[in-house]
Amino acid sequence: MDIILTSVATSKIFNGFIMLLSNIGGRYIALDMPTNIEYLFTNYFFLRIIVMFSIFFMATRDIKISVLLLLLFLIIIKFFINEKSSFCLYKNDLKKNVSDDEYLKAQLIIKKYNKENNIK
C-alpha cells in the first residue's frame, strides 16, 4: 500500500491534476469563508505572501526554489508592473482622470442632446 501511495504522490500527472484542481476550485472555497477571513487577506500583506509561497511550494516541492520564485514574483509585481514605481516598465496611458471642466462640458452636451430629442 505504501508503495502505491508513494508512486501516486510522486507522479507528475497526479501533481499536475491536483494543481489544476486547486486553481480551478480555489475561488469556490472562498465562498464558504466568513467575511472576517476576507478582511484579513485584503488588509494583511504577509498573509498573501504566505499563500503565494504555498502555491510555489506546491508546484515545485522545493523550499529554496519556492522562496526564489516568491522573491522574483514580488520584485516583478512591486517594481516592474506597479505604476507607482519609478522602475515601472509599462504605464497604462489609456487611464486618464477627467477634470471638473471636462465633466461640466460633458453635462452640457448631455443636456443639449436631451433637449433636442425631447428626453426628460
The full DSSP string for 45-113 is HHHHHHHHHHHHHHHH--HHHHHHHHHHHHHIIIIIS-TTSTT-S---TT--PPPHHHHHHHHHHHHHH
Say if 4 falls within a structural domain.
no
State yes or no: pLDDT of 101 exceeds 70. yes
Range of the domain at 44: 33-90
Total-model pTM: 0.53
Please tell me the predicted confidence (pLDDT) of residue 32. 75
Please tell me the predicted confidence (pLDDT) of residue 94. 57
Say if 80 falls within a structural domain.
yes
Say if 71 falls within a structural domain.
yes
Q: What percentage of residues in the chain have a pLDDT greater than 70?
A: 93
Stretch 78-93: mean pLDDT, rounded? 74
Q: What domain count does the chain have?
A: 1
What is residue 33's DSSP assignment? S
Contacts of 69 (CB under 8 A, 6+ apart): 56, 60
